[in-house]
Amino acid sequence: MQTNHPEITVIVATYNQECTIARTIDSILEQKCAVPYEILIADDCSTDRTSQICHNYSELYPQLIRHIRRDHNLGLVPNYITSIQEANGRFIADCAGDDFWICPSKLQQQYDILSKNSKISLVHTAWQYFNPSKNTTSPSQTLSGKYSNYFCKETCGKDLIVPIVAHKVKPLIHLCTAMYRRDIVIKAINTYPDLFRSPWLTCEDIQITTVLAACGNIAYLPEITLNYTVTPNTASNQQLPQTAFSFYYGIILLTKLLQKTYSIPYNDLDSFYRSSIQHLAKLMFNAREPKLRYKTKELISLCNTTISAPTKLYLAASTNRVLWNTTWQLKQLVKRLKKWH
């Protein structure tokens, strides 16, 4: 439904996604929603045809689509956070510019829950992976066993803070499946600016879902509503070790800040810190960048965790340039030998 006074704002944060952005917008336009909503396309100064495609859609649907093209590239997190502040709806949903919704009643179902129960701060749903090269889908996670209690019809949000921050399920709440209360996040942005405005941030979903869990109950719908596209360029799936290092470095720093903000006991996060720093050390070793070694050791000190044996080996092997290059080359040789056999 088109209106100048929307109840819902659907944020589409995009940058250089000319091949997928139309599919994303079309999937939102297919929503069967009785309440007014708007689509806010936050175009982060794209350099390909993305801007033109988004502009064309805004011309076709002027009462429904707002296309905001940034004057300069803000980056993923600032672009998204600024979009929340620019939104007109009291509820926020979003769909990334390379993903797409597959349930036409998604918005209506979630709106019905939020509008009828003021105790609920966020509603999320099931989702699945989408492989564009093969045009196939696969399940996102198994909602059984010890994690099944995280996916109930309604859960006390405070019970989910530690599972979210400790990354018990990755992700426990996929923000592109969610609808949430804008006023809670706006208040959090003003109260905890470091969680949303720090220049080192590499994601926006963990802190948003955490503050929403801290302020209300979390509802869950088992219906799959999202195809989440995974490619080598996905932020958490970068092939270049330097790029992946920066992403996970930001995640660990954010986790530390959330731990402090919400007074989470260290024991609840020790396992996450150990495994994450081990992964970071591996990326550092493969990148062969001395400055990344320094940042790894800095994080170990900051997190005050006991490092694993593999982490110790990565650090020892990168003590000096000659040793580092030699061990890296040996590792590549072992990989090739394994392939031959």
SS3 109: helix
CA atoms within 13 A on the CB side of 320: 2
Report pLDDT for 234: 55
Report pLDDT for 239: 67
* Cis amide linkage into residue 171, ω under 30° from 0: yes
User: Which amino acid, one-letter code, is at 298?
Assistant: E
User: How is domain 8-233 classified at the CATH fold level?
Assistant: Spore Coat Polysaccharide Biosynthesis Protein SpsA; Chain A (3.90.550)
In order of 236, 284, 299, 311, the CA distances from 304 in angstroms are: 24, 19, 8, 14
Q: What does each of the 341 residues of the chain score in pLDDT, given as a tens digit?
A: 555 689 999 999 999 999 999 999 999 999 999 999 999 999 999 999 999 999 999 999 999 999 999 999 999 999 999 999 999 999 999 999 999 999 999 999 999 999 999 999 999 999 999 999 999 999 886 566 677 889 999 999 999 999 999 998 878 999 999 999 999 999 999 999 999 999 999 999 999 999 999 999 999 999 999 999 987 655 555 568 999 999 999 999 999 999 999 999 999 999 999 999 999 999 999 999 999 999 999 999 999 999 999 999 999 999 999 999 999 999 888 888 877 76
Domain borders along the chain are 8-233, 238-340
Whether residue 195 contacts residue 207, with contact meaning beta carbons closer than 8 Å, is answered with: yes
Residue 128's beta-bridge partner residues?
139, 227
Report pLDDT for 337: 83
| Number of other residues whose CB lies within 10 A of the CB of residue 194 | 12
List Cβ neighbours of 115 (8 Å cut-off, separation of 6 or more). none
| Number of other residues whose CB lies within 10 A of the CB of residue 165 | 26
| Number of other residues whose CB lies within 10 A of the CB of residue 212 | 26
SS3 16: coil
List Cβ neighbours of 62 (8 Å cut-off, separation of 6 or more). none
Residue 107 Cα to chain centre, angstroms:
20
Show the tokens assigned to 41: 């396309």
Pure H helices in 69-160: 76-86, 106-116
Q: What is the pTM of this model?
A: 0.93
Whether residue 163 contacts residue 220, with contact meaning beta carbons closer than 8 Å, is answered with: no
| Number of other residues whose CB lies within 10 A of the CB of residue 187 | 13
Report pLDDT for 43: 98
Report pLDDT for 145: 64
Long-range contacts of 235-241 (CB under 8 A, 24+ apart): 235/76, 235/202, 235/203, 241/283, 241/284, 241/286, 241/287
Report pLDDT for 148: 83
pLDDT digits (tens, 9 = 90+) for 127-153: 999 999 999 999 886 566 677 889 999
Report pLDDT for 146: 73
- The values of phi and psi at residue 308, to 5°, are -80, 165
SS3 261: helix
